[in-house]
Amino acid sequence: MAVATGKSFASRFGVHIAVFTFVAIWTVPTLGILVSSLRDKDQIIASGWWNSFASSTQTEAGRLPPASAQVEKDGKFVLEGNIFGDDPARDINSFGVKSSAPTQYPAGTTADLGDGETLQLNADGSFVMTSTKPFEGERGQRVYYASSAPPKFTTDNYNTVLFSEGIGRSFMNSLTVTIPATVIPILIAAFAAYALAWMRFPGRALLIAVIIGLLVVPLQMSLIPLLKLYNGVGSFFGVPSKTYLGIWLAHTGFGLPFAIYLLRSYIAGLPREIMESARIDGASDFEIFVKIVLPLSFPVLASFAIFQFLWVWNDLLVAMVFLGTEGDQIVLTAKLNALLGSRGGDWEILTTSAFITIVVPLIVFFSLQRYFVRGLLAGSVKGG
Amino acid sequence: MAAQIFSAITVIIVGVGGCVAYFWGANKLVDIIFPSRGVAGAAAIDNLRRQGMIRPWLFVGPAMIILTIYLIYPVVETLRLSFLDRGGANFVGLANYEWAFGDREFRNAIFNNIIWLAVVPAACTFLGLIIAVLTDKIWWGTIAKSLIFLPLAISFVGASVIWKFIYEYRGAGQTQIGLLNAIIQYFGGQPQVWISLPFWNNFFLMIILIWIQTGFAMVILSSALRGIPEETLEAAVIDGANPFQIFWKIMVPQIWGTIAVVWTTITILVLKVFDIVLTMTNGQWNSQVLANLMFDWMFRGGGDFGRGATIAIIIMIAVIPIMIWNIRQANKETGGH
């Protein structure tokens, strides 16, 4: 579709700018949590993540030592030391002694505080305060200073989140839910799809219509009856009602209409001649399906597998209804939702957990995008 | 945890093995009961006919059983429950429906759902179409599309965290760590608590879904645009049409069918939207929607299944026109097969 429009330089430039803007809006939010998850947790709240490569500046207050620490030198009374103590991790840019002017003097200069007192505060935090009269009082001089810290990146957040916040465990739970819930529907759907595409039997058209109808039935319709059913089965057999087996089957059920629909439209499009020549050679439907249809359908099976994987991995609703909220069952999405409640303002925890939640889908998505797009097109355009 | 991994692997093997065993075994059984080889002519033909009658049902059987338990029975049961009380024991007639339409929260949810339905599908389709057209004109269009498509892989909960961070609020004059408030403050505006601004907060939640779904619309529409015959576009150029005329009068009319498909797909998604509202506001500050309200009533105060089922039915009623349209379209296409 190469339309010969926008020939002028200005309009072509405009297209580049417009697309660039769209791309920026669509990627910057995700970039924000990735960058934040790698930042030091004190810096996350001190400056926006877009400033994370610049030094973060903050203004703080400190106190010099009390009068008891003074020494007499050359007829002057002197207080010396480092305002950071033993850990000079930051650089001081400027300082002051009044809260109304906390950055009055540049670092390294000697400020005349009047009354014969001077104060010098250096960039590394060391200070010298002198006075012509002895210092008095229990409390030392109050000092304000603006300091900057170099950008600090760390993987500490990942350690914390994976091993002490329970995200690591939830990651395993998510895998436990997702893999069987992706594999089980494929075979069941493939057999049904073949029968609906190539076998003649009464009621076939009705079945296809029912499946297309079920494609759009909201999940909400199923939740309460299934919850009651699971509770009933659980108490009848004396087993827990929230089990992995339960959620595997639930996801299989919810995924089947799409699976059958997608596979059927693909399998129905396979060349008739292949089927017929195999049948003339005496192959049964079962043999045709296993030896011819399955191998030829690989692309569509892959498409469905990716869909189902992403859908199950990203699902919150089904997991919240059919799985428990304890450590041994809670999946990543539900855990992230719980953290939003309990660790609402702790962005180092939230951004890191969110990134761990989305990293698997992103990998799957990037490596198998071709199949994903193909499934998307087949699933929505053909039958509509 | 090791036990968990082991049991997951066992289930995959047992599950897949079970499926294979069922299909293979059932098929074998039919061959044994109604042999078609090694029997005399008439009997063989008879048995072949019987095989042809049974085998399709063996193939579709497991799928039918699961669909019945997980989708068909629940639809009927939910309808029944919507006429029963909270525990599902006593018939209450239309009391749940009367409650719903008198309830302030429910009406708020209906109102919000209508706004969502009016805004999100339109915005996704429109943005998707524009991006599809623009990216087709530049050499790095594929990369651009890939990046815009990417949020489709992100869960609604993950996307909610991403956007909650964008909307993060600090008091006026403080360093803003939320991108939106930082931009507002940079240009001299007042930072806002976006997700608790009544009415407008709906739009801040909708942005999340639009951000996720635009990629979907873009991919589908982009492929439809490629299907437009070159000649029609060339003819329009020769006739002196400008780019806007080509877009609105030549391209859009030729892909109406696809636009309708994208629009209805996103419409259904919007009706079911739950995760975004739950994680961002849980329906506070007048941002409730039906799907979240339904989930809420499933568990609120021990759960009110009657009211929950009623809300589900109302969502279902909104879906039915699309369902009928889908089935009709499919019948038209498969009619010849």
Q: Which of B214, B261, B309 sits opposite A381 (nearest CB)?
A: B261
B5 or A21, higher pLDDT: A21
Structural class in CATH, domain B103-334 = mainly alpha
Confidence of residue B335 (pLDDT cuts 50, 70, 90): low
Which of B59, B64, B55, B61 lies closest to B33 in space, CA to CA?
B55
Answer whether A244 touches B (CB < 8 Å): yes
Residue of A nearest to B28 (CA): A286
pLDDT (0 to 100) of residue A1: 42
A158-380 is a CATH 3.30.9.10 domain:
no
Contacts of A173 in chain B (CB under 8 A): 4
pLDDT (tens digit per residue) in B55-85? 889 889 999 999 999 999 999 999 999 999 9
Distance of CA A308 to the CA centre of its chain: 19
Residue A269 DSSP class: T
pLDDT, mean over chain B: 89
Contacts of A218 in chain B (CB under 8 A): 268, 271-272, 291, 312, 315-316, 319
The Cα B17–Cα B22 span in angstroms is 8
Contacts of B88 in chain A (CB under 8 A): 228
Contacts of B71 in chain A (CB under 8 A): 214, 217, 221-222, 253-254, 257
Q: Would you call B8 and A45 a contact, using CB atoms and an 8 Å cutoff?
A: no
Query: Is the pLDDT confidence value at B293 over 80?
Result: yes
Q: Is A103 within 8 Å of A96 (Cβ atoms)?
A: yes
- Domain ranges across chain A: 9-52, 56-149, 158-380
A interface test, pick of B34, B162, B230, B329 with most A CB neighbours within 10 Å: B162
- Domain ranges across chain B: 2-81, 103-334
Q: Would you call B298 and A248 a contact, using CB atoms and an 8 Å cutoff?
A: no
The Cα A244–Cα A176 span in angstroms is 8
B257 or B116, higher pLDDT: B116
A60 or B166, higher pLDDT: B166
3-state SS, residue B221: helix
Contacts of B140 in chain A (CB under 8 A): 19
Answer whether B250 touches A (CB < 8 Å): no
Interface of A with B in 97-136 (CB under 8 A): none
Q: How many contacts does A have with B, using Cβ atoms within 8 A?
A: 363
pLDDT (0 to 100) of residue B125: 96
Distance of CA A74 to the CA centre of its chain: 63
Which of B22, B17, B31 lies closest to B62 in space, CA to CA?
B22
Interface of A with B in 62-91 (CB under 8 A): none
pLDDT (0 to 100) of residue A79: 86
Residue B53 burial (10 A CB sphere; 0-12, 13-18, 19+): middle
Residue A220 parent element (H or E): helix A220-237
Measure A354 CA to nearest chain B CA, in Å: 5
Percent of chain B with pLDDT over 90: 53
Residue of A nearest to B158 (CA): A354
- Which runs of consecutive H residues, i.e. helices, occur in chain B? 2-33, 41-67, 73-81, 95-102, 104-135, 141-149, 156-167, 179-186, 200-226, 230-238, 243-245, 252-254, 256-271, 275-280, 290-299, 305-334
Q: Are strands A126-131 and A76-82 parallel, antiparallel or unpaired?
A: antiparallel
For B108, B122, B197, the CA distances from B286, given in Å and listed in that order, are 7, 23, 9
Residue of A nearest to B256 (CA): A381
The Cα A332–Cα A314 span in angstroms is 8
Stretches in chain A below the pLDDT threshold 70 = 1-7, 56, 86-89, 380-384
pLDDT (0 to 100) of residue A281: 87
pLDDT (0 to 100) of residue B60: 92
The Cα A195–Cα A285 span in angstroms is 9
pLDDT (0 to 100) of residue A121: 86
Q: Which of B258, B319, B326 sits opposite A212 (nearest CB)?
A: B326
pLDDT (0 to 100) of residue A87: 66
